[in-house]
Amino acid sequence: MVPMGLFRITIKQYRLKGVRMRLRLNVLFLMLFTFLLATTAGAATDAATCLSCHESMEGAAKVSKDKYEKSVHGSFDCVTCHMAPKGAQHTGLTGAAPDKAVKDFAAAIAPKGLKDPLAAAACVGCHPDKVEEYKGSIHGQNVIVKKSSDGPVCINCHGIPHYIEKRPSMASKVYLFNIVETCGKCHEEKHITEKYGFSPLVMERYKESFHGRKLKLGHSGAPSCASCHGSHAIVSTKDPKSPVGSVENKKKTCGKCHPGATEKFVAAITHKPLHPVAHFAEIALIILTVGTFMFIITHVLLDIFADIRKRLFRKGGDHHD
């Protein structure tokens, strides 16, 4: 359409002025050339080319076309993230060269030893705010500064991006009802709790709390881990910036759901093991309560029994009268 239009204009102009035509024709050829180049390059790198092998593979290398297309990233070519897949089988199958932001983030998360660090870092191109928050978090610092492989990168909390679905899809690893399991993958691990000196009962105390039980029952108003700790900018709970790092912040955090939460109220939730004294007091209270009930019940039963006996004897007495 456009080239034809251009062509007609150039013919007209030729009749008017000889020099103009050569100029216009050059523009036309340049446009045609770019068009052809773009189509040939595009054919080699579209998702269908990659899927022609990967859809029929076994194990981790298999990518399901249907699930991919259903995901939030399903409209992208694979090379948007896999800018330079390794191996001879991929010769010529590359995307645009990674920019500085992607290269820097890929280098920063190198301690995780991933297969395709460029792909895992590609998020920065489209979710720069999340990456920025993450970099400052205790999780980001663990990987980037401590150079440890213990902390999570994006894909540890979200899964491989091929299959990320929009919340509230049950397939989302960060859907409210899946968050406990997602964080638990690491926070339930003994080697993590021991190495970083966390209370070994973080998960257990949460699950047995009012909150954990309510969430398990499907109550969407109950807090998951992220409701109290955040998600991308999580810091140490000893850091005053933490949403649970100071009494004032706790009042705000708990106050989202318990309006007017007081200093005394916000102290009610912790993941720490019950204090031995508190534990003993709890047991003593149970014994006392059960004991009192037993006493009352026995007393009442004896009373009723005595009453029946008395009535029976009196009745019998009446008969003999």
Binding of residue 179 to ligand HEC (CB under 6 A): yes
Please choose, from the candidates 217, 139, 242, 220, the residue with its C-alpha nearest in 3D space to the C-alpha of residue 185. Answer: 139
Q: Euclidean distance between the first and final Cα of the chain, in Å?
A: 124
Binding of residue 201 to ligand HEC (CB under 6 A): no
Which residues in the 262-281 window bind ligand HEC by CB under 6 A?
Answer: 265-266, 268-272
Residue nearer to ligand HEC on the CB measure, 18 or 92: 92
Give the DSSP letter of residue 31: H
Binding mask 11-50 for ligand HEC (x = CB under 6 A): ----------------------------------x-x-xx
CB 162 within 8 A of CB 68: yes
Binding mask 63-102 for ligand HEC (x = CB under 6 A): x----x---xx--x-xxxxx--xxx-xx--x---------
Binding of residue 253 to ligand HEC (CB under 6 A): yes
Helices (H), 97-219: 100-108, 117-121, 123-126, 128-136, 138-144, 154-158, 179-187, 190-195, 202-208, 210-216
Which residues in the 221-250 window bind ligand HEC by CB under 6 A?
Answer: 221-223, 225-229, 231-232, 234, 236-238, 244, 250
Binding of residue 251 to ligand HEC (CB under 6 A): no
Q: Which residue has the tokens 């709790």?
A: 193
Which residues in the 276-315 window bind ligand HEC by CB under 6 A?
Answer: none
Determine the size of the site formed for ligand HEC (CB under 6 A): 105
Other Cβ atoms within 10 Å of 293 Cβ, number: 10
Nearest 5°: the CA angle 284, 286, 287 is: 65
Q: How far is the CB of 138 from ligand HEC (least distance, A)?
A: 5
Q: How far is the CB of 247 from ligand HEC (least distance, A)?
A: 10
Q: Which residue has the tokens 């103009």?
A: 20
Distance between CA atoms of residues 102 and 108, nearest Å: 10
Q: How far is the CB of 292 from ligand HEC (least distance, A)?
A: 24
Binding of residue 172 to ligand HEC (CB under 6 A): yes
Q: How far is the CB of 230 from ligand HEC (least distance, A)?
A: 7
Q: How far is the CB of 92 from ligand HEC (least distance, A)?
A: 9
Nearest 5°: the CA angle 73, 75, 76 is: 75
